[in-house]
Amino acid sequence: MKTYIPKFLRLILAVVAALMQSCTDHIEQPAMAPIAQKDISVVNGKLSFKSKQSFFETISKINEMSPSELSAWQQNFKFTSLLNSVDTAASSQSLKQLPIGYRAVLNRNGEAIFGDTIVWYSATGTKHYIPKLNEELLTKIKTGAVESKLKGTFTIKTASILNKKENPEGRFIWVTPGDKDHEARWQHEFCYHNDCGSRRKYIHELYMVVDDWYYTLYLVAKLEWRGRRGWYGAGEDRYIIMNLACTVQLTAGDKGIYGATYVPIHVNTVYHDNLNIFIAQDFLTYSNYAYWDIDIRGEILQEIVDDPNSRWDNVSYPLW
């Protein structure tokens, strides 16, 4: 059922959006257990976790926080995170594509500590492990003076329309796709304020992060503008409403081996950037091969605050 926004409510929200630099989000997701602060400290400008498991669990919990909860959590630690960094270097911008949980726990250089090991997430998708908190070795690896001997990988992957297998209801099995493949079924192009010299496009897509044996699944709502050489991220304030029923399962996952997980998502907010919604996470247990089995159905609404004609109700049972 489509959501109706009365005219008086549009006016109120527009005024609020103009007066506030950041919005108050109403995003309902699964209940979150508190993060054990005693397990986290700051060492040499990096967040230090007692183990890799603690690191991943913290990311999972941050992914479920509201903006106000995340801000309060960050006040506990005095360091410059990737999330708060204003660094515009190409390497920093690449790392800033990571989900918010990662950007909140990694420092501006993409570093954290697990036990007595420094972990450096490089912009190339390689993780470097430096034992015994050896800062000198870390510097040599970064400059290329020494080759890193302990490595891992991490990737951000967008759902591929090529590797998708649909059943009659539309549910699809997402086998780990290539980095450049895109799921492009939900896009809506329009003329901003009916001016086709100012073209905009809404996009709703899924993506996952694979970090060693840690898998996370996300939904992102985007707004882009058309330039001479392609599409770029747009920054207009917009209403975003989601009412979704998600049933997901990572085969060979710690949770997935017991069956699918049901995740309701309810969002009603005003936002100006890509809105990333955490759906699920799981840890690979007994296999080097896994895929997400996904069924997501319901509605996603986007509308630019100052252009009522830009409204798009993306409704399908299922969407994916």
Q: Are residues 235 and 165 in the same domain?
A: yes
Count of domains observed in the chain = 2
- The pLDDT value recorded for residue 64 is 79
- The pLDDT value recorded for residue 112 is 97
Model pTM? 0.77
Tokens 């090991």, located at residue: 117
Can you tell me the mean pLDDT for 233-255?
Answer: 94
In percent, how much of the chain has pLDDT > 70? 77
Q: Are residues 109 and 256 in the same domain?
A: no
User: Does a structural domain hold residue 28?
Assistant: no
Mean per-residue pLDDT of the chain: 81
Q: Is 252 left (phi over 0), alpha (psi -120 to 50) or beta?
A: left
Please tell me whether the peptide bond between 34 and the residue prior to it is cis, using omega within 30 degrees of 0: no
Let me know how many helices (H) and strands (E) the chain has, helices first: 6, 18
Domain that holds residue 119: 37-149
User: Does a structural domain hold residue 186?
Assistant: yes
Q: How far apart are CA 147 and CA 137, in angstroms?
A: 10
Give the residue from 130, 149, 168 where a domain finishes. 149
Q: Kindly indicate the confidence band of residue 203, based on its pLDDT and cuts at 50, 70 and 90.
A: very high
Lowest mean pLDDT among 77-81, 135-139, 300-304: 77-81
Residues 66 and 81 sit within 8 Å (Cβ to Cβ)? no
- The pLDDT value recorded for residue 183 is 52
Q: Are residues 141 and 202 in the same domain?
A: no
Please write the tens of the pLDDT for every residue from 90-149.
555 678 888 889 999 999 999 999 999 999 999 888 999 999 999 999 999 999 999 999
Give the residue from 93, 118, 149 where a domain finishes. 149
What number of other Cβ atoms are within 10 A of residue 24's Cβ? 11
- The pLDDT value recorded for residue 87 is 66
CA dihedral 20, 26, 32, 38 (to 10 degrees): 10
Per-residue pLDDT for 172 more than 80?
no
- The pLDDT value recorded for residue 96 is 80
User: Does a structural domain hold residue 272?
Assistant: yes
Q: Are residues 174 and 204 in the same domain?
A: yes
